[in-house]
Amino acid sequence: MAASIIDGKTIAQQIRGELTGEIAQLKARGVIPGLAVVLVGDDPASRSYVTAKEKACHEIGIYSADHRLPAATSQAELMALVRQLNGDPRIHGILVQLPLPKGLDESAVLLAIDPDKDIDGFHPINVGRMVIGEKAFLPCTPHGVIQLLVRSGIRIDGAHVVVVGRSNIVGKPLANLLLQKSPHGNATVTICHTRTKDIGHHTRQADIVVAAAGRPNTVTADMIREGAVVIDVGVNRIEDASKKQGFRLVGDVDFEAVRLKASFITPVPGGVGPMTITMLLYNTVASARRHHAG
């Protein structure tokens, strides 16, 4: 079987279209959703993601406040900025792009963000709320993966999903969302990681495989059951002198071989990446609405 390609750009565009109406309603009440974007240091990939996020805000009518700080920024300076943004009424969402440069304490920064402005869903309060199934900001990449599945007509309820990767940003929260007792959950979830003995043994049982390991070729064709759904969260830069930027992007999945066996597969680029950005817009709009409820 040759897989259908799940087009993340098209689905992202569809959701952005839905948000446009909500933003118009907020604006009619004098509310402009506002996102503060904080980037510390000059990691090229982070810089490109942050730029794409700001552009997406601009296109849809979300106010974005750009804060680009040098890698030498101190913990105290960064904490002071977060506190200032916590108190800024124009700002409904605070995004501190990860990873932070060495020497900065990531968890202290995430803890300093007002949970009601934590549109990444990384504050322990929101992580905890998500785990027990309470209303919370859902982390953007996991939420984007779920939307890709749901909007492609792929049934999560009752499916066996194998998540490869256990990061705090993707693997752990995604596994949690998938097993929630909810219409977009109810999956049987297995999590594999670097210490798993035989990852293929697990992935071959899966109806849906999510690759979120951060390493090219982590999921190869021999690891996939015929007809399985494969979601590739990886975004890896591979040196390539034939490209004008000097690199090309690959995911964690051996795409060309796996697409011949899977029923659905996401490409890289153009799969999960655009959804991550879209769910950030979604959370920012939701936060603006909550801040101005009633």
Report d(CA 89, CA 75) in Å as an integer: 24
**Residues present in the chain in total:** 294
Only segment of 95-103, 192-200, 252-260, 285-293 that touches ligand L34 (CB under 6 A): 95-103
269 makes contact with ligand L34 (CB under 6 A): yes
CA distances from 248 to 9, 148, 234, 245, 254 (A): 18, 24, 13, 8, 14
Residue 33 sits at φ, ψ, to 5 deg, of -60, 135
In the Cβ-directed half-sphere of 136, how many Cα atoms lie within 13 Å? 23
* Contact letters for ligand L34, residues 148-187 (x by CB under 6 A): ---------------------x------------------
For the chain, give percent helix, strand, coil, nearest 5: 40, 15, 40
Exposed/middle/buried for residue 289 (C-beta within 10 Å: 0-12, 13-18, 19+) = middle
Q: Does 49 bind ligand L34 (CB under 6 A)?
A: yes
Nearer to ligand L34, 25 or 107 (CB): 107
Tell me which residues are annotated as active site: 53, 97, 120
Whether the upstream peptide bond of residue 216 has omega within 30° of 0, thus cis, is no
Instruction: Give how many residues touch ligand L34 by CB under 6 A.
Output: 20
48 binds ligand L34 (CB under 6 A): yes
Among the listed residues 95, 138, 146, 230, the single contact to ligand L34 using CB under 6 A: 95
How far, in Å, CA of 106 to CA of 165, rounded? 20
Closest to 219 (Cα-Cα) out of 203, 207, 236, 235? 203
Asked if 232 interacts with ligand L34 (CB under 6 A), we say no
Q: Establish if 144 lies at the interface with ligand L34 (CB under 6 A).
A: no
Smallest gap, in angstroms, from Cβ of residue 86 to ligand L34?
Answer: 16
Query: Is 268 near ligand L34 (CB under 6 A)?
Result: yes
If one asks whether residue 97 binds ligand L34 (CB under 6 A), the answer comes out as yes
Which positions from 233 to 252 touch ligand L34 by CB under 6 A, shown as an x/- string? --x-------------x---
Residues that bind ligand L34 (CB under 6 A): 48-49, 52, 95-98, 120, 140-141, 169, 235, 249, 268-270, 273-274, 276-277
